[in-house]
Each structure stands twice: as C-alpha cells, then as structure tokens.
C-alpha cells in the first residue's frame, strides 16, 4: 500500500484492543462462566450481540480459539424458543451506574428483550471456514438455526420474508435519521436529538408495556414496525451461510435447502418491495402500509453484500451512489448517511449516533460485497482509506468522513475488523 500509514501499527493497535477488552469471571447469572471482548471497557462493559459476532471475525486474525470462545459465550444466552438477546449483562452489579445510561427493556435480570442484526450465521461460517472444526460446528449450529427460525416466527407477521424491528436500536443503528419521522424527531434541532430520542424511546416502551408477555403481538400494535434493508440483507446472507453450514455438518439435505430457499425469498422481497428503479437504491419499509423511508443512508446500498444480487442493481448502487463524491465516496468512506441529506451530521454535533460518521462494520461487509461482485479495485481503495483513517485517529468508535477525526468510545472492539481487511489485502505480511 502506497501511503504514509504504518499498517503494522494499526494492526498492533487492533490486537491490543481485542486482547485488552476481555471481560471474564463467574456471573451471578446462574454461576455461568463468561469470557468475551466488550465493545469498550469504559463506555460499553457488557456483551452485545452483533459486536461479539464482529469481534469473533476480527479475532480470527489473532487466535481462532478466542473467536470460538466469543461465540460460545454469546450462545449461553440462547433460549429454548430460539431467541438470543441483544445485550448480556454478565457483571451487572459492577456496572450498575453504566446501566442507567441505556434505554433498554429487560426480558430477564441478565439480558434484554430485544435483538440485533443476525450477523451470527456469518460469524459461525467464517470461524468454520478458518478452522474446519467440525465439533465446534455441531455445537453452535443448532442454536444459530433456532435463532433464524425465531426471527421468522416472531418477526415476519405479514409473511413477506422480510423481518421487522420493534424499535430503532434493534438494527444497531440507534439514532439513524431514517427513523426520525417515526420517532417524532423530524423538527428537533440537531443539538436536541440525543435527549429527544431517549424521551421518545420511553414513549415507545410505554406503548409496549401492557403487551410484553406476548412478544409476537408487538408488531401488530404498529407503533414501530420497521423492515430494514440492512438487517434483511444480513438476514439473507445469514440464511445462505446456514445452508452451507448445514451441508458441512452433514444435516439432511432438506434442511440446507430450506435455508437456501429462504435466502432467495428474502432477496426476492428486497428486490421487489424495496428497490427503487428511479433512484437506483433500496428503501426501508415502515408500518403496516409498508411506506418507503426515503432517507439516503448506507443501508440503501447494503444488498451489495448479497452475492446473488441482480447485476444491474449492483452496477447502479456502486457507480451512481457508492462512488458518488457528493453522496458516499467522501475522503473516508462509507459515511453512515449520504452527504446530500439535510440530517447529515459528519462531525457528530448532534451527539447522536449513525447520523453521518463512518463506522467499520459497514466497511467490512461492503468490502466483501464489492469483491464478490468483481469490484476488486474499489474494495482495495475502501480498505486503504479505512486503514488510513484508523492510522490517523486510533481505535475509535466512529470517524468524521471528511477529516478522519475519531469520535465516541475509545478502544472500540469492532474497529478491529480492520484486521480482516488487512489480512484480505495481504498487507499483514
Ligand atoms: C451503540 C451502537 C450499537 C452497538 C453498541 C455497542 O449503541 O449503536 O450498534 O451494538 O453501541 O457497541
């Protein structure tokens, strides 16, 4: 790579964070032993679902045993009906003060009642590809399959193959402006967004409170019923991975076929219901009427991560939007919101997340999507600028897409996904 950045230093920093953020011990939660990488010791001391999946992928560049451990720890929360929570509160007592900062609803004293994007199947796939550890596969595949079946049973009430979210942070994109309308943030000045969001989350929880005993009914209330393109792309990718994993595990062919068929149906629904031929992007759907949410965020490009996406759609997403210097191809791509949006907040003035800055997890996914679709050079350029951004500002949670300045948590776990890009580009040697 022809740049001033010291790749060895970036990689060493990423390894330092992954090794330094480990939390381990015996929990009051039934005496379970835990050992996992927390997103950031100061800001996020608990275990988060999609963070751990990304940590597992990044840990493959250090020690595959640690990657397996990360997923095993997460799966201790898998419930008999398939549900896996978005936060696991292993050291609840020690972090009681931190806990007060989160707008969450618990299903149990030690875990939340919500989900996060189903990155799990891809993480299992990556760990299995790297290790070919059959015993590990047979251990983690059943709860992973059950989780995907739970999503179908509980989160697709209109049977259109797209799963729906009950609140914004289930996508992991907490304060994305695409949710402003439903969260009544449309007219709130930038500086007031973070507080107003907390307030409006409580309103949402109030609406759900009388119905919590029956989670399958929450979407029917239609207060926040959101079919998210990013989440459903991750879901389709995960179903495809499960098909392959079922085969590797020697499961009945019908079971592998079930997941692969479902992956195709999710993609077909995305193409049919969310694609906008005029704009050349995908839009999320909200409410029972399935209105399109016309806010241009990186989510609108996310089906790029699906290998079998229609070639014409791939071309338009990449050529007209990803590489568009007025929208997403800024000096440090990929911004979480297109620069053309009125809500675009590249320097984090709102103190609310996912409103403009660049994060590592979209870059990781899109990098592999670009490679799968033959955009090898674009992928390399994306990886190069990502490494430069971290070289400049360190292992921050998110970054200014113009200057590379870092914001949010320090020593942030999934920023270590840069190790996967460095490895993939062969820059580590
Ligand atoms: C923030 C992010 C969310 C992440 C969590 C822990 O809330 O928006 O996606 O899982 O932090 O890192």
Q: What's the chain's Rg over C-alpha atoms?
A: 20
In the predicted model, what is the mean pLDDT of residues 62-83? 98
Supply the mean pLDDT for the chain: 97
Ligand 1 centroid distance, CA of 173 (Å): 7
> Does residue 147 register a pLDDT over 50?
yes
Say if ligand 1 is within 6 A of residue 170 CB. no
Q: State pLDDT tens for residues 177-197.
A: 999 999 999 999 999 999 999
Helix or strand run (H / E) with residue 57? helix 49-59
> Does residue 54 register a pLDDT over 70?
yes
Q: How many CA atoms lie within 13 A of 253 on its CB side?
A: 0
The SS3 assignment for 282 reads strand
Integer angstrom CA distances of residue 92 from 52, 172, 277, 296, 423: 18, 21, 48, 38, 36
The set of long-range contacts for 290-296, using a CB threshold of 8 Å and a minimum separation of 24, is 290/227, 293/178, 293/179, 293/181, 295/176, 295/177, 295/178, 295/180, 295/337, 295/341, 295/343, 296/321, 296/327, 296/337, 296/338, 296/340, 296/341
Ligand 1 centroid distance, CA of 172 (Å): 6
Say if ligand 1 is within 6 A of residue 48 CB. yes
Ligand 1 centroid distance, CA of 297 (Å): 17
What's the pLDDT at 376?
98
Residue nearest to atom 4 of ligand 1 (CA): 172
Helix or strand run (H / E) with residue 177? none
What's the pLDDT at 2?
45
Q: Which of 18, 21, 38, 39 to mutate to test the pocket of ligand 1 (most atoms within 8 A of CB)?
A: 39
Say if ligand 1 is within 6 A of residue 172 CB. yes
Residue nearest to atom 2 of ligand 1 (CA): 172
Q: How far apart are CA 176 and CA 149, in angstroms?
A: 27
CATH of 7-210+222-425, one of 3.30.930.10, 1.10.490.10, 3.40.980.10, 1.50.10.10: 1.50.10.10
Integer angstrom CA distances of residue 319 from 28, 79, 298, 309: 52, 43, 14, 15
Say if ligand 1 is within 6 A of residue 44 CB. yes
Ligand 1, atom nearest to 172 Cα: 9
What's the pLDDT at 185?
96
Q: State pLDDT tens for residues 241-285.
A: 999 999 999 999 999 999 999 999 999 999 999 999 999 999 999
Contact (CB, 8 A) for 67 and 59: yes
Partner residues linked to 399 by β-bridges: 358, 406
Domain boundaries, the chain: 7-210+222-425
Q: Which of 118, 172, 357, 413 to mutate to test the pocket of ligand 1 (most atoms within 8 A of CB)?
A: 172
Q: Two tokens at 31?
A: 């005496």
The SS3 assignment for 26 reads strand
Ligand 1, atom nearest to 353 Cα: 8
Residue 3 pLDDT class (50, 70, 90 cuts): low
The verdict on whether omega for the bond into residue 143 sits within 30 degrees of 0, i.e. cis, is no
Contact (CB, 8 A) for 412 and 395: yes
Determine whether 1 is exposed, middle or buried from the number of CB atoms within 10 Å of its CB (0-12, 13-18, 19+): middle
What's the pLDDT at 1?
52
Ligand 1 centroid distance, CA of 358 (Å): 14
Residue 122 pLDDT class (50, 70, 90 cuts): very high
């Amino acid at each position: 790579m022809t740049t001033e950045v010291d790749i060895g230093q970036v990689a060493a920093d990423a390894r330092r964070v992954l090794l330094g953020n480990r939390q381990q011990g015996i929990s009051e939660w039934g005496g379970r032993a835990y050992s996992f990488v927390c997103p950031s010791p100061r800001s996020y001391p608990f275990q988060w679902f999609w963070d751990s999946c990304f940590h597992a992928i990044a840990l493959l560049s250090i020690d595959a045993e640690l990657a397996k451990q990360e997923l095993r720890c997460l799966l201790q929360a898998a419930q008999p009906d398939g549900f896996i929570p978005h936060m696991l509160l292993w050291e609840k007592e020690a972090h009681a003060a931190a806990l007060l900062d989160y707008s969450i609803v618990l299903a149990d004293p030690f875990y939340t009642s919500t989900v996060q994007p189903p990155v799990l199947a891809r993480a299992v796939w990556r760990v299995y590809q790297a290790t070919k550890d059959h015993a590990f596969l047979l251990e983690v595949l059943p709860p992973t399959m059950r989780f995907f079946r739970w999503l179908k049973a509980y989160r697709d009430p209109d049977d259109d193959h797209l799963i729906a979210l009950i609140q914004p942070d289930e996508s992991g994109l907490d304060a994305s402006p695409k949710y402003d309308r439903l969260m009544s943030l449309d007219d709130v000045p930038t500086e007031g967004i973070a507080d107003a969001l907390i307030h409006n989350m409580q309103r949402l929880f109030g609406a759900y409170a009388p119905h919590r005993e029956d989670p399958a009914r929450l979407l029917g209330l239609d207060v926040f019923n959101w079919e998210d393109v990013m989440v459903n792309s991750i879901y389709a990718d995960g179903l495809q991975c499960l098909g392959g994993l079922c085969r590797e595990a020697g499961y009945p062919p019908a079971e592998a076929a079930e997941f692969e068929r479902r992956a195709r149906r999710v993609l077909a629904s995305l193409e049919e219901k969310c694609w906008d031929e005029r704009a050349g992007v995908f839009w999320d759907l909200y409410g029972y009427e399935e209105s399109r949410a016309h806010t241009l965020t990186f989510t609108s490009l996310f089906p790029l991560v699906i290998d079998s996406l229609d070639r014409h759609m791939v071309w338009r997403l990449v050529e007209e939007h990803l590489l568009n210097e007025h929208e997403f191809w800024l000096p440090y791509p990929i911004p979480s919101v297109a620069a053309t949006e009125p809500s675009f907040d590249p320097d984090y003035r709102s103190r609310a997340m996912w409103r403009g800055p660049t994060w590592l997890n979209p870059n990781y996914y899109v990098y592999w999507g670009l490679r799968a679709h033959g955009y090898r050079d674009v992928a390399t350029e994306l990886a190069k600028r990502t490494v430069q951004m971290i070289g400049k500002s360190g292992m921050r949670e998110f970054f200014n897409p113009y200057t590379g300045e870092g914001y949010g948590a320090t020593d942030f776990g999934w920023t270590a996904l840069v190790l996967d890009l460095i490895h993939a580009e062969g820059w580590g040697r």
